[in-house]
Amino acid sequence: MSSPQRSITRIELVLNRLRLKYLQAIALSPGLRDHPAQAVSLSFNPAFLSLTGLDQTPHWRDRGFATHARYGLDWDQDREDLASALRELTRCQDVTTTYGEVLALKPGFHEAWVHEAFPDDAQEGPETPRGRVFGVLRGSPRGLIDLAGHYPADLSEPSCFLAYAPCSVSEGPFVRRRHQGVSYFGELKRVGTIPSIAARRAILRESFEVLDACQRLRDEDSVVGLERLVNEAKATYQ
């Protein structure tokens, strides 16, 4: 049997490494690095997935990433590490609770942190296990759907997990729990009915260390700002 907390820590680490690697890919690309904020946006999600090798189309090249950004960074190692962490996680026996916890980690935290319309922005109906998780996180009194010991493909298949809501990685924020006792699911339920993004962030910072890469680059949209952000992320989250 695996420890859910240990697996969550491993997944946190890999997702933060992917976030850092994406920023490094921008820094390696002359067409993007002078104004890096443009690449930390929803429209660049296909480019991010093609950089990782998950999508074999050349979206990365079409959006201005340099060849070295695709082939000079070891994306394959991070994908292998993520797959290993997910395999460990899916050996956990409390399937329903574990599934909710991981969806709260990705993409739940990203949504609560950046979506102005949260908690009224759920995209999936409550008839699916994933939609029910999002509903509960946003204050629904209904419980999670019993998964009867079987993990859905969006968690049991590493490629599906990474491909779903890639903006959680490509737009950041970097995030990790302040200690292993913190539950993503529990903390997001605390803010799940709060419409103020500033109030949600203040509460979440009590339990999580957060580096908002997207906001940082909007505030300092330059190669110097990008370099500072990369150095800070390397020092804190690598």
**DSSP secondary structure code for residue 105 in this structure:** I
**How many C-beta atoms surround the C-beta of residue 58 within 10 A?**
12
pLDDT value at residue 2:
56
CA distance 22 to 170: 7
pLDDT value at residue 3:
82
**How many C-beta atoms surround the C-beta of residue 67 within 10 A?**
11
pLDDT value at residue 170:
95
What sign has the CA pseudo-torsion 154, 99, 188, 7?
negative
Which of 35, 49, 34 is CA-nearest to residue 79? Answer: 49
Written as one string, the DSSP assignment of 146-205 is: P-TT---HHHHSHHHHHHSSTHHHHT--EEEESSTT--HHHHHHHHTT---HHHHHHHHT
pLDDT value at residue 104:
97
pLDDT by residue for the chain (238 residues), tens digit each? 458 889 999 999 999 999 999 999 999 999 999 999 999 999 999 999 999 999 999 999 999 999 999 999 999 999 999 999 999 999 998 999 999 999 999 999 999 999 988 888 877 888 899 999 999 999 999 999 999 999 999 898 999 999 999 999 999 899 999 998 999 999 999 999 999 999 999 999 999 999 999 999 999 999 999 999 999 999 988 7
pLDDT value at residue 18:
97
Using the structure block, give the residue that is written with the tokens 């999580």. 208
pTM of the model as a whole: 0.95
